[in-house]
């Protein structure tokens, strides 16, 4: 279903502000070398729920950081409400998800380059078998 202009505008505002809030929290929290970017924010038609897709580098820490972000959701929501108080009447509820599209693209590139060759690496054949 196509998003309205209002949904796109609110999603863009939330994406920009959420990226700033999360990156500032990561650096203030003592996480050196961690990059948190917000790849997409989609808002429901009634503007009550905003789904934020996060891309976290390095990827090995992604699930731990996502749990920390989800546990601090009220604080993040409050900070966003303070930043957008002149643009939004009501702050939508936030839901956070990991955006794994970069790893998926990387896996496709490896397959196309021939790095995942099942002829040379017999362990890959089990993954490709249809059950």
Q: Is the pLDDT of residue 54 over 60?
A: yes
* pLDDT value for 5: 93
Longest alpha-carbon distance in the chain: 60
44 in Cβ contact with 90 (< 8 Å) = no
Q: So where are the chain's domains?
A: 5-99, 101-131
For residue 101, which of 65, 69, 63, 55 has the smallest C-alpha distance?
Answer: 55
Rounded Cα distance, 94 and 52, in Å? 7
Model confidence pLDDT, tens digit, residues 92-114: 999 999 988 877 787 778 777 76
Q: Does domain 5-99 have CATH number 3.30.300.20?
A: yes
């Amino acid at each position: 279903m196509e998003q309205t202009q209002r949904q796109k505008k609110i999603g863009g505002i939330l994406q920009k502000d959420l990226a700033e809030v999360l990156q500032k929290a990561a650096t203030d929290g003592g996480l050196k070398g961690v990059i948190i970017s917000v790849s997409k924010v989609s808002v429901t038609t009634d503007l009550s729920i905003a789904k934020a897709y996060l891309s976290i580098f390095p990827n090995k820490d992604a699930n731990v950081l996502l749990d920390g972000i989800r546990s601090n959701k009220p604080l993040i929501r409050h900070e966003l409400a303070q930043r957008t108080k002149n643009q939004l009447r009501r702050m939508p509820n936030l839901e956070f998800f990991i955006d794994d599209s970069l790893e998926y693209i990387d896996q496709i590139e490896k397959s196309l380059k021939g790095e995942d060759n099942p002829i040379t690496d017999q362990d890959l054949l089990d993954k490709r078998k249809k059950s």
